[in-house]
Amino acid sequence: MIHGQNMIKSGWMYKQGWWNTAYKQRYFEFNENAKTLRYYIIILDGSGTNKRKLKGRIDFKKTPIKRMVKSFQLERQFHVVTKAREWIFRCENRQERDEWYCAISTLWGSK
């Protein structure tokens, strides 16, 4: 889902872990103006309501994107490489991958 003028995109993706390299499903929010990609887990509180709990954040102001690559081995996966780390994301399908890639790539090369 893409929202408003700020090119904010949100939705579900899988993120490969840094230490535990298993893929975990997370809810992501990308904010082009803030240059951040936040990710959450969804927890069920005592009243039966879903709540988001922030699990992490990528601040592209502090760690700019060095390169981005769409995977050829798995068409629904893409990589975002920063000085600090290589992030590997997997989407439900190629269209979702292309939407996320397009949104995040607006920061590639920006200062």
- Tell me if 107 sits within 8 A of 60, measured CB to CB: yes
* pLDDT of the residue at 8: 82
* pLDDT of the residue at 49: 84
pLDDT tens for the chain, 111 residues long, are 544 456 589 999 999 988 888 999 999 999 988 999 999 998 887 787 888 999 999 999 999 999 999 998 889 999 999 999 999 999 999 999 999 999 999 887 654
What is the phi-psi region of residue 4: left when phi exceeds 0, alpha when psi lies from -120 to 50, beta otherwise? left
In this structure, what DSSP letter does residue 102 have?
Answer: H
* pLDDT of the residue at 111: 44
* pLDDT of the residue at 19: 80
Place of tokens 């840094």: 18
Cα 55 from chain centre: 12
Instruction: Say how far apart CA 95 and CA 101 lie, in whole Å.
Output: 10
What are the structural domains of the chain? 2-17+24-105 (2.30.29.30)
Instruction: Say how far apart CA 102 and CA 32 lie, in whole Å.
Output: 11
What is the phi-psi region of residue 103: left when phi exceeds 0, alpha when psi lies from -120 to 50, beta otherwise? alpha
* pLDDT of the residue at 7: 54
| Listed residue (55, 51, 29, 30) closest to 40, CA to CA | 55
* pLDDT of the residue at 21: 85
Instruction: Say how far apart CA 3 and CA 9 lie, in whole Å.
Output: 6
